[in-house]
Every structure is written in C-alpha cells, then in structure tokens.
Amino acid sequence: MAARVLVVAALLVLSACDKPQPAPAPTAARADSFDEERAWKDLQALCALGSRCHGSEAHTKARTWLHEQLAACGAEVRDMPFEFRGSEDAQPEPFVNVGGRFAGKGTKWILLGSHYDSRSWADVDKDASKHNTPIEGANDSGSGVAVLLEVARALQKHPPDVGVEIVFFDGEDYGRPGKQQDYFVGSRDLAASWSRWYPGPKPACAVILDMVGDSDLSFLREGTCQQECPWLNDLLWKAGGELKYPAFGVEGEKAVTDDHTALLQIGIPATLVIDFDYPHWHTSHDTIDKCCAKSLGVIGRVLLRALVDRPFEVP
C-alpha cells in the first residue's frame, strides 16, 4: 500500500511538471527601493548651487557633483565633451554631456536621460524686468536629475539584468527666445556623434525626463513616440496604472520637441515624460517650493518597474 502511494505521488509530481507553469511575478525590488526623500535631498543640493545656466560656476559645480554621485553608485562615469556655436555666438562654446553606465548581463541596454543645465533667461516671466534673469530650474530639469540619481542607487543595490546608461544632457535650454535651432544641443550632438560614444548596438529604448517634480503631476503621452513606437509609452503607462498613480491616468497625447527627438531621428525608440501643464516654465518662479518628494517617487518607481524590474521585448 505504501509503495502504491509513493508511485501515485510521483506521477502527480511528474504531471505537474509537464503542465505549463505560470511565469514568476516580476520583481519589484528596485522600484520598492526608490527613496523619494533621498531624491528630494539631491534636488535640494542641486538647487543650492544656484542657476546652472551655461558658463556659470554653478553649472561647472553641478557637473562635478554629478560625477561624484554617479561614481558613488558604482557607475562607469565619463564626460562626453563637444562644442556648439549658437546663432548669436562669436565662437563655439564648450559643453559636456555626462554619462554613467551600469552593465547588464547581455547586450541589451536602455538609456535614461535628463538635462542638467538651467535656463539663462526667465523669458516667459510676467515681470518683464526678469526676462534676462537666470532661473533656478528646480523642475526644469533638476527634478529629472534627482530622479535618475536615485534610480542609480537602486541599480547599485540591485544590479540590473538589462544594461542601463544614465545620461545628463548639457545645453538643453541654451536657446534664446525664438532661436529654436539653439535648443537641445547636448542630445543633438550625441545623436550626431553616436558611434563615437556608443560603437556597439543601439539601446532598446530611451526615456527622457523633463519637468517631472511639480506638486500636481499630470502626464500626457508624448505624441511623436505615440506614432512611431507606442509600445514604449504603453510600458510606462501600464506601470503607472499598476502602481495606481493618477498622474498616469490621464488620456491624451501631445507632440513636443525635446531631448528625445534627436534619438528618435537616428532610429532609437524614445519617449519623453513631461508634465506639460507647469505654469512656472521658463520663469523666475521655477523654484524648489513648486516641487515635492512624492512626485519624484512616482516617476522613479514607474521607470524602474516598467523598464528594469521585468524583461521587455522591442516589437
């Protein structure tokens, strides 16, 4: 009798093994480890440097600080210097993109980016006397920088399967009012000299952050991405829905030119996460009191859950 029971039990085990097993639930280790209060301290530290407009002491200090923070997270850090001559420049000006790489287990990798410079002109300010005043740029885009630094710490604590390159772009806000050709110079240079910095395969996707820290978050899907690679927006919005974040519950899309545009133009699936409805954009009121730690946590956890904590396939 005992032998018969053992045989039946063995058959049951074999039968269970033959059946398709459900896929393991995606880990949430990295998303759960995102510390919004620590990201908030990063934003405070960045804003304390002053306006990070081109050529300022604060801009140079910010780049050094980014190096230190990325290196402390175990990233492979490098400068990507270039020159750009704007429409009103007598000669080319020096700029530097900063990259930090976290190696994955294979060849697949993703790019996460945000610009670290701030604007030299509060040209949309209601007070015309401030139009030539450099802005603090707490949300535009100190918030994106703070989020990605905390993402880097999450990657240090839980090394990713997919490779991750974090890029802090320079010169996004270099353009004077009405001089659109002078904006986004860091991402445009990176795209133009792509093989110099990244001789291997292109990233599976790129997600750029800009103005993600204001206290009343609401995101629309970036329209150009929605036309060319909607699956990428779908990944982010699905993660936002799973985490029950109202900021990702808004319907609609809006096309905008930003640091993701040049990447799309060289064939990289890329999108932009941005709160279009930010009344302090390009004004002297883009200060840290308009931001909050909770918002930094929202986008940080969505990024990690959507792109790092579980595998995804490019269609």
Its pTM stands at 0.91
Q: For residues 187 and 178, what is the distance between their CA atoms, to the nearest angstrom?
A: 19
Q: Is residue 14 a part of any domain in this protein? A: no
Compute φ and ψ for 111, nearest 5 degrees. -115, 130
Q: Is residue 245 a part of any domain in this protein? A: yes
SS3 labels along the chain:
CHHHHHHHHHHHHHHHHHCCCCCCCCCCHHHHCCCHHHHHHHHHHHHHCCCCCCCCHHHHHHHHHHHHHHHHCCCEEEEEEEEECCCCCCCCEEEEEEEEEECCCCCCEEEEEEECCCCCCCCCCCCHHHCCCCCCCHHHHHHHHHHHHHHHHHHHHCCCCCEEEEEEECCCCCCCCCCHHHCCHHHHHHHHCHHHHCCCCCCCEEEEEECCCECCCCCCEEHHHHHHCHHHHHHHHHHHHHCCCHHHCCCCEECCCCCCHHHHHCCCCEEEEECCCCCCCCCCCCCHHHECHHHHHHHHHHHHHHHHCCCCCCC
pLDDT at position 291 is: 98
Residue 100, domain extent: 29-308
Query: Mean pLDDT of all residues in the chain?
Result: 91
Q: Is residue 181 a part of any domain in this protein? A: yes
Answer whether the bond into residue 141 is a cis peptide, omega within 30°: yes
In this predicted structure, the answer to whether residue 124 has a pLDDT above a threshold of 60 is yes
pLDDT at position 310 is: 83
Q: Is residue 3 a part of any domain in this protein? A: no
> What CATH number does the domain containing 217 carry?
3.40.630.10
Q: How far apart are the first and last CA of the chain?
A: 55
Q: Is residue 22 a part of any domain in this protein? A: no
Give the total number of structural domains in the chain. 1
Percent of the chain with pLDDT over 90: 86
pLDDT at position 25 is: 44
Q: Is residue 83 a part of any domain in this protein? A: yes
Range of lowest pLDDT (19-28, 108-117, 146-155, 172-181): 19-28
User: Alpha carbon 38 to chain centroid distance?
Assistant: 17
pLDDT tens by residue, 5-23 = 333 334 333 333 333 444 4
Q: Is residue 21 a part of any domain in this protein? A: no
For the segment 151-167, the average pLDDT, to the nearest whole number, is 96
Q: For residues 214 and 202, what is the distance between their CA atoms, to the nearest angstrom?
A: 32
For the segment 157-173, the average pLDDT, to the nearest whole number, is 96
Q: Is residue 12 a part of any domain in this protein? A: no
Burial 137-155 (b: 16+ CB within 10 A, else e): bbbbbbbbbbbbbbbbbbb
Task: Let me know: does 144 contact 209? Beta carbons within 8 Å.
Answer: yes
